[in-house]
Amino acid sequence: MHGSEEAVEQLPFFEQKIVRALQPKLVGDAQYIVGNLADYQNAQELLRDLRDRFVNRNVADGLAMQLGSAKQQAGEDVRKFGVTIRSLYDNVVAAYRQAPDLNAFERESAIYSLQSSVVDCFLYGLLEPLKMEVRIKNPKTLAEAIEVAGETERKLRYRSVTGSNITSVGLIGVPLRTEQSGNTNASDDKRVVCQICEKPGHSG
């Protein structure tokens, strides 16, 4: 018990160390807030001020706009883009949950709207023709959309390497080439033997 009381007494000291440890990791306005550390008696006060200053409705709305306007870059793997969308989504949800200037109804409404639209945000940001191919599959969740997009991207890359008429199954409705047909006929001619001169290639 004595040890616990001693630990509690030392909390303010450790909180001040935490506050000082945070200072060099902050930039801009955040750095200005903690510029005068003497104003903060404990880490909780600092965290409260940082939250009120940087996590509010406007900040959350701005993050939501970033999510809605995110675009897959040329050459970017679609699964990597999916990770970006998921990270943005998690950040927006966290911002709405922590925003002190939202009431409970506004908070839950915003989060529900995000949950309903995150798949569309992912699909909207995809490059063509991948976007159209994935939309046709009508994925219901972000995880499903990323999985479908990854598999579709793999197939599209395969087609681009082997030719647009070739899929992972094989040729689709492509007749044999003329050279192949000619070679087949030539082989058949060689098997024919003339009954008169006994030479292959013609009949007589």
- The per-residue pLDDT for 157 is 85
Of the candidates 94, 102, 92, which has an alpha carbon nearest to the alpha carbon of residue 69? 92
Q: What is the pLDDT of residues 93-137, one digit of tens each?
A: 988 988 888 899 999 999 999 999 999 999 999 999 999 999 999
In angstroms, the CA 115 to CA 113 distance is 5
Query: What percent of the chain has a predicted confidence (pLDDT) above 90?
Result: 40
**Is 124 part of any domain?**
no
Confidence of residue 15 (pLDDT cuts 50, 70, 90): low
**Is 178 part of any domain?**
no
Q: For residue 163, give the 3-state DSSP assignment.
A: coil
73 phi and psi angles, rounded to 5 deg: -85, 155
Q: What is the reported pTM? A: 0.56
Residue that the structure tokens 């070679």 belong to: 183
Q: Is the pLDDT of residue 187 over 90?
A: no
**Is 46 part of any domain?**
yes
User: Between these two residues, 24 and 161, which has the higher pLDDT value?
Assistant: 161
Whether 34 contacts 26, CB under 8 Å: yes
Task: Kindly state the average pLDDT of the residues 184-189.
Answer: 50
User: Between these two residues, 9 and 194, which has the higher pLDDT value?
Assistant: 194
Q: What is the dihedral of CA 154, 160, 161, 166, to 10 degrees?
A: 90
**Is 128 part of any domain?**
no
Q: Which residue range forms the structural domain that includes residue 67?
A: 11-117
**Is 82 part of any domain?**
yes
**Is 130 part of any domain?**
no
Q: For residue 200, give the 3-state DSSP assignment.
A: strand
User: Between these two residues, 150 and 203, which has the higher pLDDT value?
Assistant: 150
Count how many domains the chain has. Answer: 1
Whether 126 contacts 81, CB under 8 Å: yes
**Is 144 part of any domain?**
no
Q: Is the pLDDT of residue 82 over 60?
A: yes
Q: Is the pLDDT of residue 87 over 60?
A: yes
Q: Which residues pair with 166 in a beta bridge?
A: 171
